[in-house]
Structure 1
Amino acid sequence: MNDKATAADGPLPRQLDFFEKGWGVDVFLTFTIDEKSSFNPSISFTPPILDGVARYPGGIIGKASQSQAQSLGAQVSSQANRVDKLHIFYTIADLAYGGRFPSRKELEQTDCITKNASGTLFLSSDLKFHEWFRAIVKLQVFKQGNLDQKNSFATQGVIAHNIKFQIVSTGNYTPSWKLVEFSANTSNSPFLSATRDRTQEIDITMGPLAESGGLKQKALNTILASELRSSLNSVFRLNQ
């Protein structure tokens, strides 16, 4: 996933230097793949039977149709789930001055995946993080809030952003026959079916740095909540 941000709005104002000097960012990536397949054959035997003789009220005797049917069916299904998680941590100073992170221009001109990605479908889109971050910054720019005052957003705040892409591929195949004495696969269930559900999720959490060099507890709690939500989602998907 690659954030195609819009044009830059210029550098941050000086009163927001705390972002670059005292904040960090944790990027949490979750890649989930669910695969389901099922096999549902069915056969019905309907041998022809001659009409019988029935006595109706009033002593009337007449023919009555008769039928016989025997059905045989089976159902086999399988389900697989794979979850890959990745945490990446940077300080804002590393991103701005560390010299080990590509420039914004380089990022915008570089594809997020190579051409030989084995057919894996990754999405390159505008994650809207740039707009979200700028909306917060403008509170200070337009003097609608003082983010760097003591014990306020600069030292206790958290910025969180979540994006999830889901790609679902489904297919089924049902051959059917209906002959004189038997029929096959005439039910509503598909004979063969397969589903592949791929989810790519990214959580970006920004917050002030603790003395240990990592994020402060409030930001860590936000990251923990993201991990818990991701784990619960995996459990719910398995039980669907």
Structure 2
Amino acid sequence: MSLQLYSRGESKKYMENLFDDIQYGRINNAKNNAEKLKNCLLKYYITRNVDCDIIYEKFHRFNFLLSNCNNKNTLFNYLKEIRNISQLSISNPIMHLQQLYEDLRHDYLHVRSGTVETMIDIFDEIRSLKPKIQEYKDTSYNYFTLVLQDVGECESVLTNLTMQKRKIPNDKTMKELIASFQKLFKDIQKVIAPPVIINLSPAELRKQMKHKSLEEISEATGNREEELQAMLNTVEME
């Protein structure tokens, strides 16, 4: 039996509510939203086996401040700390990407329920991983550059989706949405678990091309389509 993974989507809503509550002195509402935010974060991280001690500690302190502090700046500054723990992540960027991948799959399946804004936030978080993944000396970063391109394509489709202002997207947009996210998920998987690359000679490549497409050969051997196409072009020029 698999454990349900919860999304961080609602945490942003409670964070915004907390900001307004503090701004307008609605302390009772702030306490209520703080409790909801804490529960939302606990569900998210507990289902991912992440240590949640810091969440308990920070919210215990935050509730004390809400009850005893009238200084808005102090409360806002502590709210920033709450925001930081709402973005707890694993130090390993590849594992962090896997965490975001799980979030993205959840929100993608619920896109008709209004998860677009949350997905855009996840895209920004994926982009923020670039400096760390760039330090890897293997193929991870090469695949990650494809992920960044895919993110741009997905954002474009989501923007088009929101501009339509309709609950059910038209067929064209749905096809674009499915195609763009399928490619994104596939490329993220290549970063998380890089495929074993099978080297092909030009002769072997030409032989396989008689029965398979370049895309199929790329999937089976781990070689990028662009590299295989370049090999074919070189052979044809000789």
TM-score class, shorter: under 0.3
Structure whose alpha-carbon radius of gyration is higher: 1
Structure with greater contact order relative to length (CA < 8 Å, sep ≥ 6)? 1
- Would you tell me which structure has more strand in proportion to its own residues? 1
